[in-house]
Structure 1
Amino acid sequence: MTNDPLLTLALPIALGIIMLGLGMSLTLDDFKRVARYPKPVLIGLGCQILLLPLACFGIALGFELEPALAVGLMLLAASPGGTSANLYSHLAHGDVALNITLTAVNSVIAILTMPIIVNLSLIYFMTADQAIPLQFTKVLQVFVIVLGPVAIGMLLKSKLPNFAQRMEKPVKIMSALFLALIVVLAMVQDWQTLVDYAPVVGAAALLFNLVSMAVGYYVPQLLSLNKRQSIAIGMEIGIHNGTLAIALALSPVLLNNATMAIPAAIYSIIMFFTAALFGLWVNWRHGDELKEEEPEAQAG
């Protein structure tokens, strides 16, 4: 299915536009904040990089997912937080500065961690003739494809801030359109697999989403972070960059497997509803406390 010329053309364009938009939302201060407030950033990254893949592995085994679907779910777990987490965190009175920093840092770290997690998943779930590990040259391609547009976006924001601000909305619209095109093409050409596995994959994706938000919200509190920081981390690791996972799964030069894109496509729909409910719940439970924390809250 990934031999479709339209899909082959749309994938790098979509990913490039999305990463360009991410770059235009970041500054060098977002990375420098790690040195000033290391504890919440390290806790968030620990939840994202260590706890989530372990939880996802257990869910994939528990649901006895077909090998390609299991790898697809693990690919999603390895992907960094999506930029929508910033908006949901803001609406839920989370620490948005922490969200932005986590998105920035994890987008870079994920370039190194994703190939490791995906390769281990391929080795475990797939048979020897099915597994096509991500070789160094392919990892390098991902590095350029992902970080190149991010760097360009950051440069535009630094040198042409007014232009970057004007382009923010058009870039988001273009990103959404290209993502919709990719998902439609992928699902149409792998429709039978989607129909066959949607119920079990949907249940696994929903459970993984709920576990992600629970880990992101409760683990930071156990480690003495405040509610706003915990909300930020919960949103950050609950809202994954499904577009990146879909692009890596479908890309002809990378995994080239439509079935692996199905968990990320389903998750990308589920997460926006659960994130909204999560935001409503924490504000209903802790609204007054969040208002007291807000004036003095920092990224650390």
Structure 2
Amino acid sequence: MALSVSLLAINSLLTLLTIPLLVNLALTVFIGRHSPFELPFVESFLQIFLISILPAMAGIVLKYFREEIANRIQKPVRNVMIILFAGVYAIIAFAKESSGGSGITTEDFWKIFPYAVLINFAGFAAGMAMGLFGKTGLRTSWTIGVEVALQNTTLALLVAGTLIQSNEMVKPALVYALFSFWTALLYGVAVKWYDGSRLFGEFREIREKKINGNR
């Protein structure tokens, strides 16, 4: 859990600085210098800060100063966020463009799907490989693989739909979001099947150290 939060915090800080630069570079390279789309730097910086950095900072501060309250509200807040995210994705996927939808069609979905799956599994493999290459242990490598592959599709939808205002750019993020959590589950099952004894052995070892440390 701590590793996942740490990766999220680091990723959020990097995102804050790199997203405006990389998106504008990509627009120039793939669409051209006279592209009708542009990512406003200041506005994107503020929006990303409010969505990524501020909630993470608030959670860390609350956990540090009021751990009991943080633990108590963690599950309800998570459930509310899941419902809200599901509602947002449903609107983008199924609503008309005039009502906030992306206008994605079945044909669009199947055109994007193979590339999205390829990126997803490449992310899993790359994250896992980096962890193993760095000798961080199977448990940590597994976490890195999940974090790399899941991506922040909410941020992608914000950038494409709100800041750039392009429904065509929203569609890949939407397709990716529709299946990436399920592939993460399959990834976990595959890791357990491949080397479950080592993976869960590491979990047990860490848990035992915590128990012994609290005595």
TM-score normalised per structure 1: 0.60
Relative to structure 1, the CA distance from residue 213 to residue 292 in structure 2 (aligned partners, 3 Å threshold; closer, same or farther) is same
Q: Which amino acid aligns with 2:186?
A: L
Q: Give the 5 Å matches for 1:140-151.
A: 140-146=45-51, 147-151=53-57
Structure with the greater relative contact order (CA < 8 A, sep ≥ 6): 1 or 2?
A: 1
1:210 aligns with 2:121: yes
Q: For 1:154 and 1:268, how far apart are their aligned partners in 2?
A: 26
Q: Which amino acid aligns with 1:214?
A: A
Q: Which amino acid aligns with 2:16?
A: I
Q: Give the 5 Å matches for 1:139-178.
A: 139-146=44-51, 147-178=53-84
1:117 aligns with 2:117: no
Maintained 8 Å contact 1:115/1:139: yes
Q: Partner residue of 2:198? A: 289
Q: For 1:144 and 1:264, how far apart are their aligned partners in 2?
A: 20
Maintained 8 Å contact 1:186/1:258: no
Unaligned runs of 5+ in 1: 1-95
Q: For 1:109 and 1:178, how far apart are their aligned partners in 2?
A: 26
Maintained 8 Å contact 1:194/1:262: no
Q: Give the 5 Å matches for 1:233-248.
A: 233-248=144-159
Q: Which amino acid aligns with 2:145?
A: G
1:195 aligned to which of 106, 110, 115: 106
TM superposition shift of 1:248: 2.2
> Which secondary structure does the structure 2 equivalent of 1:211 belong to?
helix
TM superposition shift of 1:231: 0.8
TM-score normalised per structure 2: 0.81
Maintained 8 Å contact 2:102/2:168: no
2:140 aligned to which of 229, 235, 245: 229
TM superposition shift of 1:160: 2.6
TM superposition shift of 1:235: 0.9
Q: For 2:80 and 2:2, how far apart are their aligned partners in 1?
A: 25
Unaligned runs of 5+ in 2: 210-215
> Which secondary structure does the structure 2 equivalent of 1:118 belong to?
helix
Relative to structure 1, the CA distance from residue 153 to residue 196 in structure 2 (aligned partners, 3 Å threshold; closer, same or farther) is same
CA deviations on 1:163-199 (whole Å, 9 max, x unpaired) are: 2222222322322232223223323225654333110
CA deviations on 1:212-255 (whole Å, 9 max, x unpaired) are: 0011112332343322221111111011121121122221xx11
Q: Partner residue of 1:92? A: none
Maintained 8 Å contact 1:122/1:131: no
TM superposition shift of 1:129: 4.4
> For the pair shown, which has the larger CA radius of gyration, 1 or 2?
2
Q: For 2:200 and 2:106, how far apart are their aligned partners in 1?
A: 45
Q: Which amino acid aligns with 1:167?
A: I
Q: For 1:116 and 1:124, how far apart are their aligned partners in 2?
A: 12
> Which secondary structure does the structure 2 equivalent of 1:289 belong to?
helix
> Which secondary structure does the structure 1 equivalent of 2:112 belong to?
helix
Q: Partner residue of 2:212? A: none
TM superposition shift of 1:287: 1.6
1:277 aligns with 2:186: yes
**Identity within the alignment, %:** 28
Q: Partner residue of 1:66? A: none
Q: Partner residue of 2:42? A: 137
CA deviations on 1:19-47 (whole Å, 9 max, x unpaired) are: xxxxxxxxxxxxxxxxxxxxxxxxxxxxx
Q: Partner residue of 1:182? A: 88
Q: Partner residue of 1:255? A: 164
Relative to structure 1, the CA distance from residue 257 to residue 154 in structure 2 (aligned partners, 3 Å threshold; closer, same or farther) is same
Deviation larger for 162-171 or 108-117: 162-171
